[in-house]
Structure 1
Amino acid sequence: MSKDGSTLEAPPAYAGISPAVSAPPLSNEDVPKLDDMNVKSEGNQKEEIIVITSTTHLKHKSTNVICPYCLTNVKTKIKHKSNSKTHLYGFLLCLIGGIICCTIPYCLPQCQTTNHYCPNCKTFLGCYPAAP
């Protein structure tokens, strides 16, 4: 019912468009169990599945971490990359202090995003955003 008391009707169907069809719901029987999967093991040994989660907080500086891909303890390789805040700070400094001052944010790592990489496998591990 609408505010004035009249009943609302469904909008007219569009020509040439078929109604959406949804997939049937999955039940617990449809999901394969670990026991049903072909897991190779020797004798009575059970294989373990290890999930590595990272709680390391990356910073502007290189950080010691265990790489989740190559599983080695490494000191991250960092690369600083300009972002929209860097460009905004440069523009504002150009308006305030002239053309010379606009290069300051590009020289300060605190105004840029710091990307961390594993030096062994070269995998991206995460980033530390620029200061607000």
Structure 2
Amino acid sequence: MAHSSSGYPTAPPPGYSEYPPPPAGQGYPNNQPGPQPPPPPGYTPYAPGYAPPPVTTTRTTYTVIAPTRPIYLGHHPATLTCPLCRETVTTRVEHRVGSGAWQLCLFIFLAGCLFTCLLFVGFVLFFVCWIPFVLVECRDTTHTCPNCNKVIGEKRYAVFD
């Protein structure tokens, strides 16, 4: 094939008809249809130094959520089935002063400040702002299982939700 001074060929490449066909029985191995013979011993389908492609598996996890009834707990002991130990118990109740009692106390105190300027009634409100700390309904309530001593639930008092 002749090349020009620029290095590019000047004539087209030879056609397929100009090359002789391969001898019979040679060419690509195993190009006949049907079952193929096993690979030779020590054969690896991957080039040396290259790892085979990673095997990916798909795992599907299903979570079954059973519908449960909400437990409404008040300020007094309740008879129910403990969700932790599965026993029917009457809850043990503990009351403590929470943020709701402090909010109500502050609200009564500020109302007393406002009404003291306007009426004598506000003066009385200064002396009753401690009442939320005494009333059970203004305290937070914790229900505990007497069997397993775990907290079942809480009832929080809130003035402003």
TM-score (structure 1 length as normaliser): 0.55
TM-superposed CA distance for 1:53, in Å, is 3.7
Q: Which amino acid aligns with 1:29?
A: T
1:115 aligns with 2:130: no
- 1:60 maps to 75
The residue number in structure 1 matching 2:98 is 83
Aligned length: 88
**Percent of pairs with identical residues:** 27
Partner of 2:35: none
**Helix, strand or coil: the match of 1:65?**
strand
Between Structure 1 and Structure 2, whose CA radius of gyration is higher? 2
Structure 2 gap ranges (5+): 1-55, 113-124
The code of the aligned residue for 2:137 comes to Q
Distance of 2:57 and 2:69 partners within structure 1: 31
Q: Name 1:30's counterpart in structure 2.
A: 59
2:131 alignment partner in structure 1 = 104
Q: Secondary structure at the match of 1:79?
A: strand
Quote the offset at 1:70 in angstroms.
Answer: 1.5
Instruction: Give, in angstroms, the shift of residue 32 of structure 1.
Output: 6.2
Deviation at 1:56, TM superposition (A): 2.5
User: 1:52·1:68 contact (CA, 8 Å) conserved in 2?
Assistant: no
Q: If the length of structure 2 is used for normalisation, what is the TM-score? A: 0.46
Per-residue CA deviations over 1:35-74 (Å, capped at 9, x if unaligned) read: xxxxxxxxxxxxxxxx694532111111111111121111
